[in-house]
Chain A
């Protein structure tokens, strides 16, 4: 263990009144890994994702992203640190166009001509940058808000440049996931598979280090599933991502995950390479142990 883990979850617990959704879960993910997160329905997989993105505040334990504690942080701070996700039930901005969805994902990466982005060229601009730097201490981002509004209204060349670069990057991302030429369609008018791909592009737009995919192949036919697996692998290489994915299709888990974590009733019951986990008695018990569990399993392919 010479490499510092990108994600370190220690003793994470979440309690909803009487229900212990997560029970001191530990998980360590090294950078660059594709990690599978599996378990029967209601095992706490999505709850774990919600903790990792800051949507839930855990009732116990800690989450470290590259050594920085992120549990209890507001969601947009977590996102700024490089965590992005997709959703099990697709949640696009339905009434916005395809490219606008990606541009919203890129929100943090678009400079608005604020003090940070001011590139001083002449002496008075240098002076301006110094004053701006002093003003940054003002509460509530008043200055950055004013700069953003002023920029949008006046549209100086730097603003146009930033916006144009963002649009071009969004187009490249759309091309990477295979949505070229659909930029101006409304997100809600896309077919199901394309919506999943758009969610992926939107998540990538924030330049994440850790990408959380909640059932990326749900509802896809075998051909589409293979293509998606391919895409996930390729994106990991291209963008240097660490990926955690929740998945029910064993074929996908076996195919692309380097390690698998298994949750059941909020507890981690197994962890390791997919082949080992597949043979783990505790996992077989969780999935197949009783007749009831066997019936449940029938529903896994189509959540």
Chain B
């Protein structure tokens, strides 16, 4: 069989599914804005979910691939967002009149640079110590944003941030347009991070995650590859920040709290570290569902659950009739969605604990991909001691 077939050959059946499913899913996602049911509020929620998919995939490079627990990921997100804000908001002192498409590659660079800056001092740290220092770094960035009033507008923030222009057309502003922007970004990031994972650099990262000392003994420059993991993950976070700032049009430090770092980390962990679909699912559950619960449509649907409320409320009603004081009553069903959304952090916590106990690998643990080569046929003579085999090689 010619060598080329080895890599470019029609993949085995399992791999066809592995390639066709994502393609089919992307086509489905691309059709979403065409469905009349998904009105603008829906598309805005989906944008947010997509943004968290991008951030989750970025953080996954640091946490999932290289095993470096980073609790300050918001710093990179903020770096990108403020780069966009400072360079395009009329409130910032900088007046360069750069367009979104110029700033995007700049954000990649800046993100990588900030990632290196964070990476350098924390290199000797492992595990918990690393988590604490990165957590501090995230907070430092936020406080910087508040205090560098002349540049960042302090707690007032920066407004009227530019939208991306499309040559020969209008600027991207409609929710459906932003939906496509984030869809394309997420697909690109997923594709590129998978390519990194399946290359020498990805194997080096995973080896460092598995056993740093042994990785070094195998000839891997652990310092270099850890820095590269930080820089790559940070670059993705920074791009997410640019998109966010341009989409929202207004940023201030309250958008860049520790909560963002934790949300992104929760998305990665609950979905399943290292798994793209896990991240998509995690973002939908943790970011999308709480928003959807507050929709009017959700209330309308819940309203029809009056019978369930009556059933659940029956014991309380009975108690209420007997007791001399007022007893708690099950609230109206149309408010249930908001109730759950309001309590979402309790639910997050419970969900995280449950996932860690029941499925430490996440809901969708990353399945080991097979290297694409044909498995050799089993040798004709089964050797009782395999050690004695293969002498001719």
Contact = CB atoms under 8 A, between A and B. Distances in A.
Contact of A149 (B201, B218, B387, B389): B201
Interface residues of A, number: 62
Contacts of A22: none
A230 interface: yes
Given A110-B200, A152-B201, A178-B390, A53 B207 contact: no
B210 A224 contact: no
A152 B202 contact: yes
A50 to B, nearest CB: 10
B224 interface: yes
A186 to B, nearest CB: 6
Contacts of B217: 53, 55, 75, 79, 84-85
B17 to A, nearest CB: 16
Interface in B58-73: none
Interface string B340-375: 000000000000000000000000000010110101
Interface in A164-190: 164, 167-168, 171-172, 175-181, 183-184, 186
B387 A178 contact: yes
A160 B7 CA distance: 8
Interface in B79-109: none
Nearest to A103: B203
Interface stretch (A33-41, A87-95, A274-282): A87-95
A176 B378 contact: no
Interface string A131-157: 000000000110001001101110100
Contacts of B224: 140-141, 145
Interface in A210-265: 223-224, 227-228, 230-231, 234
B390 A180 contact: yes
A152 B371 CA distance: 15
B13 to A, nearest CB: 15
Given A76-B221, A79-B218, A180 B376 contact: yes
Contacts of B36: none
A228 B387 CA distance: 7
Interface in B211-235: 211, 213-222, 224, 228, 232
B371 A153 contact: no
Contacts of B373: 167-168, 171, 183
A176 B52 CA distance: 46
A259 B58 CA distance: 53
Interface in B178-203: 192, 195-196, 199-203
Interface string B373-393: 101101100010111111101
A142 B51 CA distance: 29
B7 A107 contact: no
B203 A197 contact: no
B376 A181 contact: yes
A79 B221 CA distance: 10
A75 B221 CA distance: 8
Interface string A42-85: 00000000000101000000000000000000111001100011
Interface size class of B (residues with CB under 8 A): 35 or more
B216 A151 contact: no
Contacts of B375: 181, 183-184
A163 B385 CA distance: 31
Nearest to A188: B210
B6 interface: yes
A202 B218 contact: yes
A148 B201 CA distance: 7
A93 B207 contact: yes
B206 interface: yes
Nearest to A149: B201
B124 to A, nearest CB: 13
Contacts of A104: 203-204, 206-207, 215, 218, 220
Contact of B390 (A85, A93, A163, A175): A175
A96 B204 CA distance: 11
Interface of B: 3, 6-7, 192, 195-196, 199-204, 206-207, 210-211, 213-222, 224, 228, 232, 368, 370-371, 373, 375-376, 378-379, 383, 385-391, 393
Given A107-B219, A183-B375, 4 more contacts: A99-B371, A110-B200, A155-B195, A230-B387
25 contacts: A55-B217, A76-B221, A76-B222, A79-B217, A91-B211, A91-B213, A93-B207, A93-B210, A93-B214, A105-B218, A107-B204, A112-B200, A141-B224, A145-B224, A145-B228, A148-B199, A149-B201, A152-B200, A153-B192, A153-B196, A180-B386, A180-B390, A184-B375, A227-B387, A228-B387
Interface of A: 53, 55, 74-76, 79-80, 84-85, 87, 91, 93-97, 99-100, 103-105, 107-108, 110, 112, 140-141, 145, 148-149, 151-153, 155, 160, 163-164, 167-168, 171-172, 175-181, 183-184, 186, 194, 197, 202, 206, 223-224, 227-228, 230-231, 234
Nearest 3 A/B pairs, CB to CB: A178-B386, A227-B387, A152-B199
